[in-house]
């Protein structure tokens, strides 16, 4: 069995305990980032998801500075198709890997919000972005592992005699993560990802999806190489009633405008549509401690594990038992929730999964 790993989230865009309530908002800042990184590292999180988007601070610069302010945690930074020349990106990632002592992993993102992608000057439709991503990841891997000059002729890129220095410190290269619900996302993971991250769903459905993607990976000889995980929110308190109060506080002040934006700006994302479908079909609870409430106000990973430490650990264990080994988590406030996870939940999971968690 694969070792279990846990990742946390860096809210460069700011933090909150209540969407839509002005006095509950915390602006993005260096100080906020430092608090979150320190808490996540102390709680033994292995990696740190750096978000991208118009409201976020630039991910590569943020990740580099946070790597310099920490000792063990690995920034998980997006390689988005069409944003950076792949030869330059290969050199950037390899340099980051060497400078940080092997502390970078790569998040493959095609983009959820079409208007945002267009506003940033990327004119490819989503289907084309996945095709472009496939070319760019193939180029990255070739540049990092080929002994001589790299030649590549594709639909989007033509490269003649390219090479990069340095090579990555991690061998053969840093790990690739991808979260997505479309067939194109699954195909991309089957061919290239080390970890495919699912957004919140029912454990039985996750088991079905794992089996299907693993079979797709078999076509590339990678059925034993690809791993699987979950991207989830977590709201843990020592008393269950306090956890549910914190969950309700997160969404009770959200404006109708915020809810409508969530419904309209991300309707080209299969993963977002699946999350919304689950909320419609099951209401607020998929399972007694798997809550859909944040999907009303937040796109993306809006399904949360809610409860006391034993209940949260049990819900995560259900995903472990169906084949997930990686958990990319977040919670509010991000420094405080990271501390609670490390103190209250991680020890229970370590006890139930002896030998699978780092000391």
Give residue 7's pLDDT band: very low, low, confident or very high (50, 70, 90): very high
Q: Which residue has the higher pLDDT, 283 or 326?
A: 326
- Compute CA distances 253 → 24, 91, 248, 312, whole Å: 10, 45, 9, 25
Task: Say which range, 98-102, 113-117, 265-269, has the weakest mean pLDDT.
Answer: 265-269
Please report the pLDDT score of residue 259 as a whole number: 59
Please report the pLDDT score of residue 16 as a whole number: 96
Provide mean pLDDT across the span 162-177: 97
SS3 307: strand
Q: For 78-91, write each residue's pLDDT tens digit.
A: 999 999 999 999 99
Please report the pLDDT score of residue 271 as a whole number: 67
The vertex-73 CA angle with 120 and 229, nearest 5°, equals 75
State percent of the chain over pLDDT 90. 81
Please report the pLDDT score of residue 262 as a whole number: 54
CB 74, CB 103: distance < 8 Å: yes
Q: For 245-291, write each residue's pLDDT tens digit.
A: 999 999 999 876 655 665 555 555 666 677 778 778 878 899 999 99
Phi-psi region of 355 (alpha: psi -120 to 50; beta: other; left: phi over 0): left
Residue 201 CB coordination number (10 Å): 22
Residue 263 CB coordination number (10 Å): 13
Please report the pLDDT score of residue 96 as a whole number: 98
Give residue 112's pLDDT band: very low, low, confident or very high (50, 70, 90): low
* Helix 86-99 and helix 126-145, axial crossing angle in degrees, nearest 10: 60
Q: Give me the chain's average pLDDT, please.
A: 93
Alpha helix (H) residue ranges in the chain: 30-42, 59-68, 86-99, 114-119, 126-145, 183-192, 203-218, 240-251, 256-264, 270-282, 309-321, 334-340, 346-352
Q: Strand 290-291 and strand 304-307: pairing?
A: antiparallel
Please report the pLDDT score of residue 328 as a whole number: 97
Place of tokens 């079979």: 215
CB 164, CB 182: distance < 8 Å: no
Task: Say which range, 33-47, 101-115, 207-221, 272-286, has the weakest mean pLDDT.
Answer: 272-286
Please report the pLDDT score of residue 175 as a whole number: 98
Task: Say which range, 1-15, 54-68, 88-102, 285-299, has the weakest mean pLDDT.
Answer: 285-299
Task: Say which range, 124-128, 138-142, 236-240, has the weakest mean pLDDT.
Answer: 124-128
**Helix, strand and coil in the chain, % to nearest 5:** 45, 20, 35
SS3 227: strand
Please report the pLDDT score of residue 79 as a whole number: 92
Provide mean pLDDT across the span 334-352: 98
4: Cβ–Cβ under 8 A, 6 or more apart, which residues? 320, 325, 326, 327, 349, 353, 356, 357
Q: For 280-323, write each residue's pLDDT tens digit.
A: 887 889 999 999 999 888 877 889 999 999 999 999 999 999 99
């Amino acid at each position: 069995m694969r070792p279990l790993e846990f990742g946390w989230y860096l809210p460069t865009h700011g933090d909150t305990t209540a969407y839509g309530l002005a006095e509950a908002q915390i602006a993005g800042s260096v100080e906020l980032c430092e608090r979150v990184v320190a808490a996540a590292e102390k709680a033994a999180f292995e990696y740190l998801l750096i978000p991208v988007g118009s409201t976020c601070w630039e991910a590569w610069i943020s990740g580099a500075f946070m790597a310099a302010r920490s000792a063990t945690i690995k920034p998980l930074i997006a390689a988005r198709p069409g944003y950076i020349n792949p030869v330059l990106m290969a050199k950037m990632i390899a340099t980051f890997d060497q400078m940080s002592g092997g502390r970078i992993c790569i998040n493959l993102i095609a983009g959820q919000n079409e208007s945002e992608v267009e506003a940033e000057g990327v004119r490819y439709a989503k289907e084309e972005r996945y095709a472009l991503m496939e070319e760019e990841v193939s180029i990255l891997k070739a540049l990092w592992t080929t002994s001589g000059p790299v030649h590549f002729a594709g639909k989007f890129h033509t490269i003649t005699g390219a090479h990069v220095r340095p090579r990555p410190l991690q061998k053969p290269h840093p790990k690739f993560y991808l979260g997505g619900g479309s067939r194109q996302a699954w195909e991309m993971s089957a061919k290239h990802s080390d970890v495919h991250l699912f957004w919140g769903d029912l454990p039985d459905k996750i088991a079905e999806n794992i089996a299907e993607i693993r079979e797709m990976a078999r076509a590339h000889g990678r059925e034993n190489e690809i791993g699987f995980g979950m991207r989830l929110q977590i709201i843990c308190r020592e008393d269950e009633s306090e956890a549910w109060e914190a969950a309700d506080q997160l969404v009770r002040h959200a404006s109708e405008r915020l809810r409508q934006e969530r419904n309209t700006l991300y309707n080209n994302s299969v993963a977002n549509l699946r999350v919304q479908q689950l909320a419609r079909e099951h209401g607020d609870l998929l399972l007694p401690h798997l809550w859909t409430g944040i999907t009303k106000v937040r796109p993306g990973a809006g399904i949360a594990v809610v409860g006391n430490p034993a209940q949260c650990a049990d819900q995560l264990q259900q995903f472990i038992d169906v084949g997930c080994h990686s958990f990319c988590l977040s919670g509010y406030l991000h420094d405080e929730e990271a501390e609670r996870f490390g103190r209250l939940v991680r020890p229970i999971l370590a006890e139930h999964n002896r030998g699978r968690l780092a000391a």
